[in-house]
Structure 1
């Protein structure tokens, strides 16, 4: 009854099944490993962020350029505050508002953007607290320059004078007359009248949408493998029933024979 399995048609079906199932299992396992790797990266990033908040602040120049290893680490810089700008469309605790960004002129002539704190959107921005005068030493979390349009950073233009959409040297270079560090700092403790801005997550270290896409693809590949097995058994059962009906002479006269 099962001689039909030796026909060219079934040889093709069986070879396809024997190749498809391992391929689906391999791809599912690979996607699962990618998900697990992203989970591990997320845990490592959380652990690194916790350690960074506890470590002794290091001079700014020792942590530049900013990368995954240095972003979020505690740093310190000394200088004098200069221009102050507002960064709109910044959410904190579910409320929209502004970052108060002040440029810190260091001894080498370059300026470090410093987020001194956050103001709610309904605040009188014209009365944003002025920065301290004289030489100051700031301590906070080092952050990588932002890219407009990424990670919720606004890309809109036409902002009023005294505002910038993104905190980056590229965005600020036309607003101030001196060189800038390609980094910024958010203070550990906001200046009076402002709310402390927590450091942001380093790009590509969080448990983001890509991780859950990997998990979804894992399920899809295993479902495909199960579907291949299901269809093979369904075709096999159909063929066995056809052969049984043929032996019993129950087939209609005009029904063609299977190859």
Structure 2
């Protein structure tokens, strides 16, 4: 009954099934592991953010370069404030406003971007308080350089003089006359008249669209594996039913309808000819 499984055509079908099912299961498992990794990163980022609020501040040099482990950590830096810029179109507490960004010149000659606070409304230099003079020591959360077009950072250019769309060394290199750290700090306590900007979670550590895409792909691959198995059994069933019909003589004549033998087909044809002949 099942000897057809050893025919060349079915050898090809069986090999395809034996390769397709493990491949679909492997891809589904891999996508599931990617989703689980993102969930774990999200948990780690939450725990790190909580711990960063109570951990003692460390010198800036000990936390560079910024990565997932050091992003959000409390740090300190000493220097003198220099050029001040505004970062427009930033939201805080569901209100639109702007950051006041001031470059802190450190002893090594480089400048550290420091977000001294947030103000509501359109970016206006007249609203931004002047930075303290003389040598200051700042304390706040260390952040990685921003990427335009991600995490709410505007990608539009053409801003007025004295403004920047992203807080990064690449965006500031043409706006300030000195080298800039590839990092920035948001003050734990904003300067007078402004609100402190909370630290953002490191990139790719949240349950974002990519995470749920991984979960969706997981389901798709497992469905594909089930579909392959379903179609394989369906093809086998059709082949068995065809063999059973052949044994009963239901498919003896090629092209004859199922359930009709050759003699019945001949009688039907003769009766058709008689009915089609003209009457006397």
Q: Deviations over 1:58-108 (max 9, x none)?
A: 111221222222211100112222222110121223332211111122233
Q: Quick one: distance in 1 between partners of 2:141 and 2:210?
A: 26
Determine helix, strand or coil for the equivalent of 2:126: helix
Q: Tell me which residue corresponds to 2:67.
A: 67
Specify every segment of 5 or more residues in structure 2 that has no aligned partner in the other structure, as ranges: 257-280
CA distance, structure 2, for counterparts of residue 162 and residue 90 of structure 1: 16
1:84 matched residue in structure 2: 84
Task: Give the drift of 1:124.
Answer: 5.2
2 CA distance for matches of 1:177 and 1:14?
Answer: 69
1:224 maps to which residue? 224
Equivalent residue, structure 2, for 1:114: 114
Counterparts of 1:184 and 1:135, CA distance in 2? 18
Establish whether residue 99 from structure 1 lines up as the match of residue 105 from structure 2. no
1:127 aligned counterpart, secondary structure: coil
Q: 1:121 to 1:204 in 2, by over 3 A?
A: same
Give the 3-state SS of the residue equivalent to 1:23 in structure 2: helix
* 1:181 corresponds to: 181
Q: Say which structure, 1 or 2, has more relative contact order (CA 8 Å, 6+ apart).
A: 1
Q: Call closer, same or farther: CA 1:122–1:152 in 2, change over 3 Å.
A: closer
State the match for 2:263 in structure 1: none
CA RMSD of aligned residues (A): 2.0
- CA distance in 2 between counterparts of 1:54 and 1:212 reads 32
Give the deviation of 1:163 after TM superposition.
0.5
Provide the residue aligned with 1:215 in structure 2. 215
Q: Does 1:156 align with 2:156?
A: yes
Task: Determine helix, strand or coil for the equivalent of 1:126.
Answer: coil
Shift of 1:206: 2.5
Query: How many pairs align?
Result: 256
Q: Which residue of 1 aligns with 2:261?
A: none
The TM-score with structure 1 as length reference comes to 0.90
In the aligned structure 2, how far is the partner of 1:200 from the partner of 1:45? 10
Q: Which residue of 2 aligns with 1:246?
A: 246
Distance in 2 (CA, whole Å) between partners of 1:58 and 1:209 is: 34
